[in-house]
Amino acid sequence: MAEIILQEFSDYLEYERRYSPHTIKGYITDLEILGNYLQQQTPPTGLITVGVRQIRHWLVELKTQGIESTSINRKISAMRCFYKYLIKKEIIKISPVSKLENLKTPRRLPEFVPDTAMNQLLDNEELFQNDKNGERNRMILELFYNTGIRSSELINIKCRDIDFINCTLTVKGKGNKTRIVPMSETLCSRLRKFVSISDAPLFKLSNGEPLYPRLVYKIVHQYLEQTQTVSKNSPHTLRHSFATGMLNNGADLNAIKELLGHANLSATQIYTHVTYDKLKQVYKQAHPRA
């Protein structure tokens, strides 16, 4: 019974809510872990009949095992979404997690590669192989840093999504929302030489299939290690670098929000720490008593 409901829930997230495969997999895994835990209790229970006290005990046990608050909060999010789905399907009447609150987590500032380090990396011709893979890898890094798009968005780009006249790129973000992002004329010119058939993926394997997330991560990690400026050498680090560089050079926060495809401004405000750091630096350099 539980397996059938979880599969139906997974289909609901994919086809109706348009959640990413990564999020769906995480939610289903969290619910399966909860289901296994409930079956081992005395008396055993299931995902549908569980009560709030049993869920609280599970969360406390996770915390005592040293599971991070961010991971526990994702499990809470998975449960909220799941039990709302069960209410919608009239399988249950009340959600057992309706009164649960997320655990407090320390706010982590995003890591980013400074402009100078990124310029040195991208201008270093010796780092990129003089073949199709080398050119492809450079295009990947350039696109991430030039547009701030997500890894999933880059993978799904087709050649027809590029407007060479206006130097813009159409991408599909979270929730299947489409947005148009600008790019530099230099990058646009390089892409013109790189593209192939309009319906084909911009970046593809030798068999014509699009790149997969692990390979994209591996490519970015390989090159960002050369900068030795961050501990997380991931595609998302380049997204942080894009936003940080834009804000640090005077871009409006609302404009950055739209470029990144954030649903609300609070997700973008984390980058304002760069502005504060810069103001502190200016203050120390300019104030006679600093």
- Active-site residue list: 150, 174, 236, 239, 262, 271
- Radius of gyration for the alpha carbons in the chain, expressed in angstroms and rounded: 23
In the block, tokens 């549908």 appear at 48
Distance in angstroms (rounded) separating the CA atoms of residues 229 and 182: 27
> 108, 30, 39: which is closest to 73 by C-alpha?
30
Q: Are strands 162-163 and 168-172 parallel, antiparallel or unpaired?
A: antiparallel
Whole-number Cα distances in Å, 175 to 185, 258, 267? 29, 15, 16
- Report the greatest alpha carbon distance in the chain: 72
208, amino acid identity: G
Q: How many CA atoms lie within 13 A of 270 on its CB side?
A: 16
| Dihedrals phi, psi of 169, to nearest 5 degrees | -135, 130
Which phi-psi region, left, alpha or beta, contains residue 262 (left: φ > 0; alpha: ψ -120 to 50)? beta
Question: In the numeric block, which tokens belong to residue 38?
Answer: 């409930």
Angle CA 241–242–244, to nearest 5: 65
Question: In the numeric block, which tokens belong to residue 5?
Answer: 């409901």
Question: In the numeric block, which tokens belong to residue 53?
Answer: 């006290």
110 cis-preceded (ω within 30 degrees of 0):
no
Question: In the numeric block, which tokens belong to residue 61?
Answer: 């046990």
Question: In the numeric block, which tokens belong to residue 241?
Answer: 């670098």
> 163, 48, 121, 112: which is closest to 278 by C-alpha?
112
